[in-house]
C-alpha cells in the first residue's frame, strides 16, 4: 500500500470517527454552556463569596464541564443591589444574594431570607421543604421569571456593633444604623434611622460616623470586615436575623431549557452548598468570636430584655401590617409562615430549646 493510500485510509477513518462522535453526542455537550453569576458580595468574600465559588466549582465538576458558572463579585459586572435585575433583564444567568435585598419587588421576599423573632435555620428548612415555603417562593419569583434555591444560612446572627450601650429602648432613639429587612423597619418604629449598605461599604460608613451602628452577620464575617476597629460593643442575640438564607437564583427560562439531568444537578448542587455553607458559618464563628474577644478586646453585650420585648413588639407590628396590608402574595406567605412558626415553636420549646437549656446546667463533662 502506498504512503498516499495509507494516509487517505487513516484520514477517512478519523473522519468517520469524528462523524460518529458528532452523531452520538447531543448538541448541548458540544457547545459547552457557560453561565454568568453575579453576586451581592465582594469577590471571594469569606463565607458568602467563597460559597458562591464553591457552588460554581461543584457544578463544573458534577457536569464534567458541560455547564460551568463564572462568578462575578459585586461591582464587577453590576453593583451588588442590581443583581436581581441583572438576571431578569438577561445581563447574567443567575445570582447569589439573599432575598430580602429585593424588598422593593415585594415584602414577601423577607420570609425567604429571615424574619425577626421568626425561625432558626433548621426550622426555616422545615417550612421551606415541608410547610409550603418553597412553593410560595416559586409563586413569588415566577412573577419575575426566576427560580430560587437556598444556598446556605448564616445561622443566628449577632445583634450588631454599637459605640453606645443599649440599656433601654430609649437608647436607640436617634441612632442611625445599617440594618436591612423587617428588623430595620421595626427599629424605625423605635425611633432609629436605618439604611441598607452592601458589605463593601459598611466599614467606611461606621468609621466616619455616617452611621452609629451596624449589623452584618456574625463573628467570622464581621472579623474579616474589621468592624472591631470602628465600634466597641458587640451585641447579641441577633433577634432580627435568626438564620439568614443565601439564595442561588436562576433565570427560570434558561434553567428549564437545560437538559433534565443538568437541571437536577444544579438543584442537587444548591442543596449541597446549602449544607456546606451553613455548617461552615457554624464552625468558624466560634473561633472568630474568641479572636474578637481575646485579641481585639471587643466587649460583648446582651441586649436587655426590656429592649428585646419592645423590639419584638415592633417586629410583630410589621408582620401584622404585612399580613393585613401587603400584596396578595405577601398576605399568603405571612399566614403560611405564622402557622409553621406556631407549630415549630411548640415543638422546639421542648426539643432543641429544651435540650440547649438543659445542656447549660452545671455538671462535669469530659
Helix 121-130 to helix 133-142 angle (10° resolution) is 70
CB of 264 vs Ca ion, minimal distance in Å: 32
- Tell me the three cell numbers of residue 309: 420585648
CB of 160 vs Ca ion, minimal distance in Å: 8
CB of 61 vs Ca ion, minimal distance in Å: 31
CB of 39 vs Ca ion, minimal distance in Å: 16
Sign of CA dihedral 201, 102, 327, 123: negative
Residues 237-296 that bind Ca ion (CB under 5 A): 241
Residues 129-158 that bind Ca ion (CB under 5 A): 157
Alpha-carbon span 219 to 234, nearest angstrom: 9
Cβ pair 34, 66 in contact under 8 A: no
Residues 161-190 that bind Ca ion (CB under 5 A): none
Alpha-carbon span 285 to 276, nearest angstrom: 14
How many residues touch Ca ion under the rule CB under 5 A: the total is 3
User: Per CB under 5 A, which region of 9-17, 130-138, 214-222, 337-345 contacts Ca ion?
Assistant: 214-222
CB of 240 vs Ca ion, minimal distance in Å: 7
Nearer to Ca ion, 131 or 219 (CB): 219
User: Per CB under 5 A, which region of 63-71, 86-94, 236-244, 252-260 contacts Ca ion?
Assistant: 236-244
- Tell me the three cell numbers of residue 220: 467570622
Question: Can the peptide bond before residue 237 be classed as cis, meaning omega within 30 degrees of 0?
Answer: yes
Alpha-carbon span 316 to 324, nearest angstrom: 12
Terminal-to-terminal C-alpha distance of the chain: 83
Alpha-carbon span 121 to 91, nearest angstrom: 32
Residues 322-351: x where in contact with Ca ion by CB under 5 A, - otherwise, as a string: ------------------------------
Alpha-carbon span 66 to 39, nearest angstrom: 22
CB of 214 vs Ca ion, minimal distance in Å: 9
Nearer to Ca ion, 39 or 157 (CB): 157
Nearer to Ca ion, 33 or 172 (CB): 172
Residues 215-234: x where in contact with Ca ion by CB under 5 A, - otherwise, as a string: x-------------------
Binding site for Ca ion (CB under 5 A): 157, 215, 241
Amino acid at each position: 500500500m502506498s504512503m498516499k493510500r495509507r494516509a487517505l485510509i487513516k484520514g477517512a477513518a478519523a473522519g468517520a470517527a469524528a462523524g460518529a462522535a458528532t452523531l452520538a453526542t447531543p448538541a448541548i455537550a458540544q457547545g459547552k454552556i457557560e453561565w454568568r453569576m453575579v453576586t451581592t458580595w465582594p469577590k471571594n468574600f469569606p463565607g458568602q463569596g467563597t460559597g458562591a465559588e464553591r457552588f460554581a466549582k461543584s457544578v463544573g465538576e458534577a457536569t464534567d464541564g458541560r455547564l460551568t458558572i463564572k462568578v462575578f463579585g459585586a461591582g464587577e459586572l453590576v453593583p451588588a443591589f442590581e443583581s436581581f435585575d441583572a438576571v431578569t433583564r438577561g445581563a447574567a444567568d443567575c445570582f447569589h444574594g439573599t432575598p430580602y435585598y429585593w424588598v422593593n419587588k415585594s415584602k414577601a421576599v423577607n420570609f425567604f431570607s429571615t424574619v425577626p423573632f421568626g425561625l432558626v435555620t433548621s426550622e426555616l428548612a422545615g417550612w421551606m421543604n415541608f410547610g409550603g415555603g418553597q412553593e410560595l417562593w416559586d409563586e413569588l419569583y415566577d412573577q419575575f421569571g426566576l427560580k430560587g434555591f437556598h444556598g446556605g444560612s448564616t445561622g443566628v446572627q449577632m445583634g450588631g456593633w454599637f459605640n453606645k450601650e443599649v440599656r433601654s429602648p430609649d437608647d436607640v432613639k436617634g441612632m442611625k444604623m445599617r440594618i436591612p429587612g423587617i428588623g430595620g423597619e421595626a427599629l424605625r418604629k423605635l425611633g432609629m434611622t436605618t439604611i441598607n449598605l452592601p458589605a463593601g461599604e459598611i466599614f467606611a460608613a461606621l468609621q466616619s460616623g455616617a452611621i452609629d451602628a451596624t449589623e452584618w452577620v456574625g463573628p467570622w464575617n464581621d472579623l474579616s470586615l474589621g468592624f472591631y476597629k470602628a465600634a466597641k460593643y458587640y451585641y447579641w442575640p441577633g433577634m432580627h436575623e435568626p438564620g439568614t438564607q443565601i439564595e442561588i437564583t436562576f433565570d427560570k427560562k434558561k434553567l428549564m431549557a437545560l437538559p433534565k439531568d443538568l437541571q437536577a444537578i444544579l438543584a442537587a448542587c444548591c442543596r449541597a452548598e446549602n449544607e456546606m455553607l451553613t455548617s461552615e458559618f457554624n464552625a468558624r464563628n466560634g473561633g472568630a468570636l474568641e479572636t474578637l474577644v481575646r485579641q481585639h478586646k471587643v466587649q460583648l453585650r446582651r441586649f436587655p430584655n426590656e429592649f428585646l420585648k419592645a423590639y419584638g413588639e415592633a417586629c410583630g407590628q410589621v408582620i401584622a401590617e404585612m399580613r393585613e396590608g401587603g400584596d396578595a402574595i405577601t398576605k399568603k406567605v405571612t399566614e403560611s409562615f405564622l402557622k409553621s412558626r406556631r407549630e415549630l415553636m411548640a415543638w422546639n420549646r421542648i426539643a432543641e430549646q429544651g435540650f440547649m437549656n438543659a445542656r447549660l446546667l452545671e455538671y462535669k463533662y469530659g
